[in-house]
């Protein structure tokens, strides 16, 4: 069974440029999460989707971050414009509502220079 797939794995961009990350969850998982992991820290939730609906986006910096999950399957997280402080790992995860277990992808490692 395929796990959570993320791309790109690594991205280096200049500040003020846009960047987008893509995530395909485990098949059948209705809940999708985007987490932010800063260096030396544990992941923190950015946004959680139940199917197509963003049910918790309280920690998403909406001035520069946006996300979408069209058709309730894969999702895209965008940053525009990127700042130096956005250098981090962006982790996508998914879960099934009958199993309280969250499975993570390999992460998208962003460096802003």
Binding site for other proteins (CB under 8 A): 4, 6, 31, 33, 40-45, 48, 55-56, 91, 93, 100-107, 109
Q: For tokens 């946006």, what's the residue?
A: 66
Q: Would you state the structure tokens that stand for residue 72, as one six-digit string?
A: 């309730």
Measured from the CB atom, is 73 or 102 closer to other proteins? 102
Based on CB atoms, which residue is closest to other proteins, 41 or 80? Answer: 41
Q: How far, in Å, CA of 95 to CA of 23, rounded?
A: 13
Cα–Cα distance for residue pair 99/112, rounded to 1 Å:
36
Q: How far is the CB of 81 from other proteins (least distance, A)?
A: 26
Contact (Cβ atoms closer than 8 angstroms) between residue 7 and residue 109: no
Shortest Å distance, C-beta 16 to other proteins: 27
CB nearer to other proteins: pick between 76 and 81: 76
């Amino acid at each position: 069974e395929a796990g959570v797939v993320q791309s790109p794995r690594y991205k280096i961009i200049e500040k003020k440029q846009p960047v987008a990350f893509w995530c395909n969850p485990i098949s059948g998982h209705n809940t999708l999460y985007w987490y932010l992991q800063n260096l030396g820290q544990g992941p923190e939730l950015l946004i959680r989707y139940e199917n197509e609906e963003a049910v918790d986006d309280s920690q998403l910096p909406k001035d520069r971050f946006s996300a979408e999950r069209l058709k309730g399957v894969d999702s895209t997280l965008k940053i525009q414009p990127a700042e130096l402080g956005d250098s981090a790992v962006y982790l996508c995860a998914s879960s099934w509502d009958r199993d309280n277990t969250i499975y993570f992808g390999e992460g998208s490692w962003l460096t802003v220079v």
